[in-house]
Amino acid sequence: MSLRDVRIVVNDRELRVEPGITIAAALLNAGVQDFRTSVTGAPRAALCGMGVCFECRVTVDDVAQQRACLIAVRDGMRVRTGGEHA
Ligand code: FES
């Protein structure tokens, strides 16, 4: 497998990303800044990068509240960001 051989779909947009990176890394590399929305409406994104802060929660393959910094990308994975209170 070579660089950018993994295809994921983020909010209906296909991205080709490097194998083995986390969803958080893939999103940040693609310029995504709003992983979720806080209760006050503020955009939130990865902060600690190690599974502690829960700021990076996204929906992965229809499963909500997944920490993007802890999950490696898989070919065909579908990611939703910007979820309210996600
Ligand atoms: S960035 Fe802190 S839990 Fe994912």
Q: What is the dihedral of CA 26, 51, 49, 64, to 10 degrees?
A: 30
CA–centroid distance, 24 to ligand 1, in Å, is: 8
pLDDT tens column, 26-82: 999 999 999 999 999 999 999 999 999 999 999 999 999 999 999 999 999 999 998
- Atom from ligand 1 closest to the CA of residue 45: 1
Cα–Cα distance for residue pair 82/80, rounded to 1 Å: 7
> How confident is the model at residue 4, as a pLDDT?
73
Q: Model's pTM, two decimal places? A: 0.91
Distances (CA, A) of 57 to 45, 46, 66: 8, 8, 5
Answer yes or no: is pLDDT of 8 > 70.
yes
| pLDDT category of residue 83 using cuts at 50, 70 and 90 | confident
On whether the CB atoms of residues 83 and 37 are closer than 8 A, the answer is yes
> How confident is the model at residue 19, as a pLDDT?
96
